[in-house]
Structure 1
Amino acid sequence: MKDTVPTCDIEVEFAGGLDTLTIKQRKQFVIKVNCPELRITQLIAYLRKSVFAGKRDMFSEPPELVSPDEHLVDVEGDIPGKLNMNEHCKIRPGILVLVDDVDWELLGKGDCKIQGSKNVSFISSLHGG
Structure 2
Amino acid sequence: MDPNNTLRIELQFSGGMELLFDNQKMIKANVPAFFSTESTTEKHAATIGDLIGWIASTQLRERPELFIGPDGSVRSGILVLVNGADWELEGELEYELEDRDEIVFISTLHGG
TM-score (norm 1): 0.69
Q: How does 1:64-83 map to 2 (within 5 A)?
A: none
Consecutive unaligned residues of structure 2, counting only runs of 5 or more, are 35-44
2:3 and 2:94 map into 1 onto residues whose CA distance is 26
More strand by share: 1
Amino acid at match of 2:82: V
Partner residue, 2:86 = 103
Consecutive unaligned residues of structure 1, counting only runs of 5 or more, are 65-88
- How many equivalent pairs are there? 100
Amino acid at match of 1:29: I
Amino acid at match of 1:116: D
Per-residue CA deviations over 1:61-113 (Å, capped at 9, x if unaligned) read: 36x7xxxxxxxxxxxxxxxxxxxxxxxx3110000000100100001111111
Q: How does 1:13-24 map to 2 (within 5 A)?
A: 13-22=12-21, 24=22
Partner residue, 2:6 = 7
Per-residue CA deviations over 1:31-66 (Å, capped at 9, x if unaligned) read: 11242641101111111122222210100136x7xx
Alignment match of 2:106 (pick from 123, 126, 129) = 123
Q: CA distance change for structure 1 residues 17 and 33 in 2, over 3 Å: closer, same or farther?
A: same
Q: CA RMSD in A?
A: 2.1
Amino acid at match of 2:104: S
Secondary structure at the residue paired with 1:114? coil
Identity, in percent, stands at: 33
TM-score (norm 2): 0.78
Alignment match of 1:40 (pick from 17, 23, 48) = 48
Partner residue, 2:76 = 93
Partner residue, 1:58 = 66
